[in-house]
């Protein structure tokens, strides 16, 4: 599953606020309500957070859930420098581990790639901060650098060596590797994406998302057989991955 639009929709442009203000509207027009004040550590810039997200429709029904789909959303505060990420990161530093809040984002504030059919109304999300940790260099970032300099085979060997010899010195989060794979796809580096997403699938074989993402990479490559096989596996593992079934049927 692609991370870019999902992330932009679920973790959105937010102005500064404090936990003292339990609800309100930011200058950007975002409505927010703190549902649960966490009692763990407050994340700092440079640290990493793990979150869960639920997206609700206008009736309050859950349309998607990262927890139901079987993966955690993970990122480092301050790593991304676009306006949306900066605003999101600022919000996170004012929360604590265990915090949960509701946000209503006007569709008009979404990035340009948002569907035109969704330019009115709001995206309603429930966001929970489930963990805060010190940052480590991401092994997937090193993979991309090495692949560009020395080739995919060298990058794979280096990645596996880090897993074996220095697993505590680098991070190997499913979400990070998945995101790196999609960035490679966007950059038209399909073989790099396939290699990364294959590693992710090997590390997290019980995650339907790793099969769906690998299928997307094979589809981009034009390998319909492998794409269909992985879409089918994703849907079989988790029937809530209806998008996998739909993409498989279109091939």
Predicted confidence (pLDDT) per residue in 53-112, tens digit:
898 876 788 888 888 878 888 888 888 877 667 777 777 787 899 999 887 777 766 666
In the numeric block, which tokens belong to residue 22? 């339990």
Mean pLDDT of the chain: 84
Burial class of 140 by CB neighbour count within 10 A (0 to 12, 13 to 18, 19+):
buried
Chain mean position to CA 243: 16
Q: What is the dihedral of CA 239, 244, 248, 251, to 10 degrees?
A: 170
CA-CA distance, 7 to 27, in Å (whole number)?
21
| pLDDT of amino acid 117 | 55
| pLDDT of amino acid 94 | 79
Tokens 């074996």 belong to residue: 164
CB 248 within 8 A of CB 6: no
CB 161 within 8 A of CB 199: no
Name the 3-class secondary structure at 2: coil
CA-CA distance, 19 to 91, in Å (whole number)?
10
| pLDDT of amino acid 14 | 34
Percent of the chain with pLDDT over 70: 82
Tokens 């319909």 belong to residue: 224
Q: Which residue ranges form the domains of the chain, and what is each CATH number?
A: 4-133 (3.10.50.40), 139-250 (1.25.40.10)
Start-to-end CA distance of the chain, whole Å, equals 16
Name the 3-class secondary structure at 122: strand
Q: Each residue of 191-224: b (16+ CB within 10 Å) or e?
A: ebbbbbbbbbbeebeebbbbbbbbbbbbbbeebe
Contacts of the segment 232-237: beta carbons below 8 A, 24+ positions apart: 233/208, 234/208, 234/209, 235/208, 237/206, 237/208, 237/211
- Which of 36, 45, 29 has the alpha carbon at shortest distance from 88? 45
- Mean pLDDT for 42-46 is 93
Neighbouring CB atoms inside 10 A of 5's CB total 14
| pLDDT of amino acid 20 | 40
Between residues 105 and 211, which one has the greater pLDDT?
A: 211
Q: Is the dihedral of CA 65, 138, 79, 20 positive or negative?
A: positive
Half-sphere exposure of 158 (CA within 13 A, CB side): 19
Predicted confidence (pLDDT) per residue in 2-23, tens digit:
554 454 444 433 333 334 458 8
């Amino acid at each position: 599953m692609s991370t870019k639009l999902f992330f932009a929709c679920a973790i959105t442009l937010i102005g500064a606020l404090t936990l003292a203000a339990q609800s309100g509207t930011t200058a950007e027009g975002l409505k927010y309500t703190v549902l649960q004040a966490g009692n763990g550590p407050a994340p700092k810039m440079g640290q990493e957070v793990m979150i869960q997200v639920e997206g609700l429709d206008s009736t309050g029904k859950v349309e998607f859930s990262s927890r139901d789909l079987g993966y955690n959303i993970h990122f480092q505060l301050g790593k991304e420098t676009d306006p949306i990420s900066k605003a999101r990161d600022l919000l996170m530093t004012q929360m604590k581990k265990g915090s949960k809040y509701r946000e209503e984002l006007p569709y008009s504030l979404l990035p340009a790639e948002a569907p035109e059919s969704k330019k009115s109304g709001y995206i309603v999300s429930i966001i929970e901060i489930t963990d805060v940790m010190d940052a480590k260099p991401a092994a997937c970032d090193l993979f991309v650098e090495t692949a560009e300099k020395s080739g995919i085979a060298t990058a794979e060997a280096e990645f596996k060596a880090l897993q074996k010899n220095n697993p505590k010195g680098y991070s190997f989060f499913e979400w990070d590797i998945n995101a790196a794979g999609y960035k490679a796809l966007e950059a038209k580096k399909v073989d790099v994406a396939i290699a990364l997403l294959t590693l992710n699938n090997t590390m997290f074989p019980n995650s339907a998302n790793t099969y769906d993402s690998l299928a997307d990479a094979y589809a981009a490559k034009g390998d319909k057989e492998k794409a269909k096989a992985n879409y089918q596996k994703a849907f079989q593992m988790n029937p809530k991955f209806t998008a996998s079934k739909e993409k498989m049927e279109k091939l």
